[in-house]
Amino acid sequence: MPRKKRTLDRDSGVVRDASLVIIASEDTYAVKQYFRRFRTRRVEFKVLETHDCHSSPKDVMTRLDKYNAEEATVDGDQFWICVDSDHWIEPNHIDNLVQVVRECRQKGYGVALSNPCFELWLLLHFRDFQASDVPCRCGEVEKQLRLVVGGYRKDNITALPLTVGGVQLAIERALKLDTDDQVLPKKPATRVYKLLEVLLQRESIDLYTPQV
């Protein structure tokens, strides 16, 4: 069955032949608000956030499968899941997380996994992460993020003082952390930088700065 032709998204200014990067996230606010900050003409980020607490890795992958099966996409569109290891690496959850990551790779989906959480990616925009011990928990990362930006709320990513330079530094810092070629990195690391490399490959990064 031929795929439906996508129409122009006039609200975002995205041209008709723009590539979609569809991201299914276990998060409700942070990931969606973060990627809304990017103003692009050849790439459009669409985040399928979590509702009704359906945030398990399996639920996230199922949401992406459903979009892939039902919505209009074209060659060149990309599909990603954005998940945290955090409590999914507990003994009663880790096998499910590993299985989901492997299934995603088999389906051609990208995996932007963060150990322990997405907040590590946000922190890297402002400074390197200093791990006091391994494994670390998201609370430790959020504490460092709050200290460096003067406050942080998961439902208000728009307030973060993001800059193009900060995004480029976050990519560099994340690359240095991502030295473990395992399905699940054992040390603190975030592979969200792989999503930003999509912009680097296709056009320069351009950020929307909200009016205060």
Q: How far apart are CA 14 and CA 175, in angstroms?
A: 29
- How many domains is the chain partitioned into structurally? 1
Question: What is the pTM assigned to this prediction?
Answer: 0.87
Residue 207 lies in a domain: no
The vertex-209 CA angle with 205 and 212, nearest 5°, equals 170
Q: How far apart are CA 172 and CA 169, in angstroms?
A: 5
Give residue 30's pLDDT: 94
Q: Sign of dihedral through CA atoms 171, 15, 75, 97?
A: positive
Residue 3 lies in a domain: no
Task: Inform me whether the pLDDT recorded for 25 exceeds 70.
Answer: yes
Domain range for 130: 19-202
Q: Is the model more confident about 168 or about 72?
A: 168
pLDDT digits (tens, 9 = 90+) for 68-114: 999 878 888 999 999 998 765 665 567 888 899 999 999 999 999 99
Residue 119 lies in a domain: yes
Q: Distances in Å between the alpha carbon of 10 and those of 5, 36, 72, 150, 163?
A: 15, 15, 17, 36, 25
Give residue 166's pLDDT: 95
- What does residue 67 show for φ and ψ, rounded to 5 degrees? -65, -45
Q: How confident is the model at residue 8 (pLDDT cuts 50, 70, 90)?
A: very low
Specify the residue for token string 């530094």: 169
Residue 164 lies in a domain: yes
Report the interhelical angle of 193-202 vs 164-177 (nearest 10°): 130
Residue 13 lies in a domain: no
The vertex-202 CA angle with 204 and 18, nearest 5°, equals 110
Give residue 84's pLDDT: 92
Residue 4 lies in a domain: no
Residue 80 lies in a domain: yes
Q: If you average pLDDT over each of 86-100, 109-123, 133-147, 149-163, which comes out highest?
A: 109-123
